[in-house]
Structure 1
Amino acid sequence: MTGFEPRVFSGVQPTGNLHLGNYLGAIKQFVKLQDSFPCLYCVVDLHAITVPQNPVELENAIRDIAAAYLAAGIDPKKHIIFNQSRVRQHTELAWIFNCIARMGWLNRMTQFKEKAGKDREAASVGLFAYPSLMAADILLYRATHVPVGDDQKQHIELTRDIAQKFNNDYSDRIAELGVGVEMKVGDETVNGFFPLTEPLIGGEAPRIMSLRDGTKKMSKSDPSDLSRIALKDDADTIAKKIRKAKTDTEPLPDTVEALAGRPEAENLVSIYAALSGTTRSRVIEEFAGKQFSVFKPALADLAVEQIAPITAEMRRYSSDPGHIDAILRDGGERASEIAEKNMVHVRDIMGLLNR
């Protein structure tokens, strides 16, 4: 992106046990990106409190996400790992963005409709407005790229809309203060303070589905424990869940296209591809014509091989909460330095006296 220093930001909510979907759809991508970009990886605890939380469980869940980041291989010395609530500028910029975003934009957010359910009037204002906080999380660091699952694309589009409206609304002031950066918007080169962040949706399984229903996303909140593989599951539990995963009666086809209309089969093939670092086409080549009685044990062995070392490392880190807290504290201080530098400019742009 022209003019902006490349930077990655992303985060995971501390709400319940991490599962395979969190790892393949997010954390595994985080690890790969740290070799190419400066990265900030956040435990987004302020997003978690849009619904009621038990304080003790929330504290533990925050540490669990940080432990997962570390266990997966994110380097807290080269990059920044922190929890969102340590950096007060997140909420400050979120309020500013609440005043930039339009009600119609937020009304179109499909995740609010899904999470609020039928009784939308009983949902918290925070649940309705949290896409503005997500935009603030990203743009506070002027992040140019965000690794997300494909179900989060709408939120990145909203982040871009907010950034573009801010840049347009305050274009004269940005130019006057000389704090803008040149960037391409379509065929035009414009000057703006915030980048139009790009989503990074990678891998063969950008959205991992339930093991019990291939049409639904794998979720921490699903009442069936058999619907997900938790990162804390032991080898026997992982094998049992894959063995009981819902499938159809047909053997695996000889092309990826032939998986269409077979959501459970497609999901298991995608999981295999993502875990092995290959493509779905390669998986199909290997297992074409095979029954699930052959494929499932191979998938179970692969899942155990990939997840067991992470589980062991998570347990090791979790046994020393003081060490995790020190990493989060250090990361929070480093993130705050970047955040305040950018917020000084935002306040100046808007005419808010702050120095």
Structure 2
Amino acid sequence: MHMPEAPSTPASADAAAGTVPRVLSGIQPTADSFHLGNYLGALRQWVSMQDTHDAYYCVVDLHAITVEHDPATLRRRTKVAVAQLLAMGLDPDRATVFVQSSVPEHAELAWVLSCLTGFGEAGRMTQFKDKSSKQGTSGTTVGLFTYPILQAADILLYSPEPGEGARAVPGGVGGRPPTGGPALRVPVGEDQRQHLELTRTLAQRFNHRFGETFVLPEAHIPPGAAKITDLQEPDAKMSKSASSPQGIIDVLEEPGPMRKKIMRAVTDTGSEVVYDEEKKAGVTNLLRIYSALDGTTIPDLERRYAGSGYGQFKKDLAQIVLDTFTPIRERTLKLLDDEARLDRVLAHGAGRASRVASRTMDAVRDRVGFVGRGS
């Protein structure tokens, strides 16, 4: 794989000139495979955005250790996650693909931002409250408590042109984000909006106290993102932590089990293939999946399967799911067989990410008042 020092596509050239928005997103390596919800809700859009954005995508292994883990498993799953992203179509020459822990500035900026975050502010984060209430005090780590602050650092570290033209004095210019240059966008679902708001708050607080440094990130809902629910409990989100094995479809799953899960997916009373979130949540979820993968609108699907019942509809959907994920699975396994190639991709991505991250941290260190490293 040819990996030039700087990407040469039009989107990347525009990014260098400050004319396209930057996007940052990450995903945890906490399972042996991504799932259908990950793919339709985010990862497929990552691929399309690499041509329209200055894209930074990371596997967030620092976030993954907020719970007890096995080191060898984490290392393996991190490589599997990267291989899947490449197999889905991410191109290291068009997007910066890297592992979070390979860029130490993530942890450094998280500490600085932690010192700007109120205890009550962090404690109000909904995900922390939900998880800590289930796990109890003894099972809840400080890392889980500060998770959103690390997430804020992940985002702000890639702020476009941090501090350009800013006054490096406390207060800056009213705490406003730097003017000019591209925007900073973060693809988010509803469950992450609170974390993004905290990120914006911390960016504004830093800018106000130490001078304009960070562009305020914007929430971005990519077109085509689909909300996918559990195949067995269609009122619940498809999730590795909550779904049963039969309720979730893994990207790397064997074709046979994948087909069976679609055919056994919960439907509803009656036999009409119609979209109705309240009365037909199961069929509605399958229609969303079908439409997202096939491109056919849901009204057209309703007309196509009018009077035919669930059997043919599920059979056709199962084939579409197989046609989508079988090539990704094959490419992923091939990439995993060439570990040296994966290592080169990760080294290349970490190098590109580090150049931006180190520039950001140079500005942060200077404004906070840290002594320089010397020559």
TM-score range, shorter chain: 0.7 to 0.9
Matched, 1:210 2:225: no
Unaligned segments of structure 2, at least 5 residues:
1-17, 161-183
Alpha carbons of 1:124 and 1:292: their partners in 2 closer, same or farther (altered >3 Å)? Answer: same
Q: Match for 1:72 among 76, 84, 88?
A: 88
CA distance in 2, matches of 1:43, 1:243: 32
CA distance in 1, matches of 2:130, 2:19: 35
Structure-1 residue corresponding to 2:361: 343
Corresponding residue SS for 1:268: helix
Matched, 1:10 2:50: no
The Cα shift of 1:250 comes to 2.7
Q: Match for 1:263 among 281, 286, 305?
A: 281
Structure-2 residue corresponding to 1:134: 151
Matched, 1:353 2:371: yes
Structure-2 residue corresponding to 1:186: none
Counting aligned pairs with the same residue, the percent is 43
Q: Which amino acid aligns with 2:292?
A: A
The Cα shift of 1:287 comes to 3.4
Unaligned segments of structure 1, at least 5 residues:
175-191
Alpha carbons of 1:204 and 1:31: their partners in 2 closer, same or farther (altered >3 Å)? Answer: closer
Q: Match for 2:209 among 169, 172, 185?
A: 169
1:109-154 Cα distance to aligned partner (Å, 9 max, x none): 2222333343431200001111100110011011611223332222
Alpha carbons of 1:152 and 1:293: their partners in 2 closer, same or farther (altered >3 Å)? Answer: same
The Cα shift of 1:348 comes to 1.3
- Matching of residues 30-41 of structure 1 within 5 Å: 30-41=46-57
1:11-50 Cα distance to aligned partner (Å, 9 max, x none): 1100012111111112101001011011111010000000
Alpha carbons of 1:271 and 1:117: their partners in 2 closer, same or farther (altered >3 Å)? Answer: farther
The Cα shift of 1:309 comes to 0.9
The Cα shift of 1:264 comes to 2.0
The Cα shift of 1:53 comes to 0.9
Structure-1 residue corresponding to 2:111: 95
The Cα shift of 1:325 comes to 1.5
Structure-2 residue corresponding to 1:118: 134
The Cα shift of 1:245 comes to 1.1
Segment of structure 1 superposing worse, 270-279 or 233-242: 270-279
Alpha-carbon contact 1:4-1:195 (below 8 Å) kept: no
- Matching of residues 243-282 of structure 1 within 5 Å: 243-252=263-272, 256=275, 258-282=276-300
Matched, 1:236 2:256: yes
Alpha-carbon contact 2:28-2:59 (below 8 Å) kept: yes
CA distance in 2, matches of 1:35, 1:281: 30
Please give the TM-score of this superposition, normalised by the length of structure 2: 0.83
Q: Match for 1:326 among 344, 355, 359?
A: 344
CA distance in 2, matches of 1:91, 1:297: 48
CA distance in 2, matches of 1:134, 1:253: 41
Matched, 1:197 2:237: no
Please give the TM-score of this superposition, normalised by the length of structure 1: 0.87
Corresponding residue SS for 2:134: coil
Alpha-carbon contact 1:21-1:207 (below 8 Å) kept: yes
The Cα shift of 1:322 comes to 1.9
The Cα shift of 1:268 comes to 1.4
Alpha carbons of 1:301 and 1:154: their partners in 2 closer, same or farther (altered >3 Å)? Answer: same
Corresponding residue SS for 1:118: helix
Segment of structure 1 superposing worse, 60-69 or 157-166: 157-166
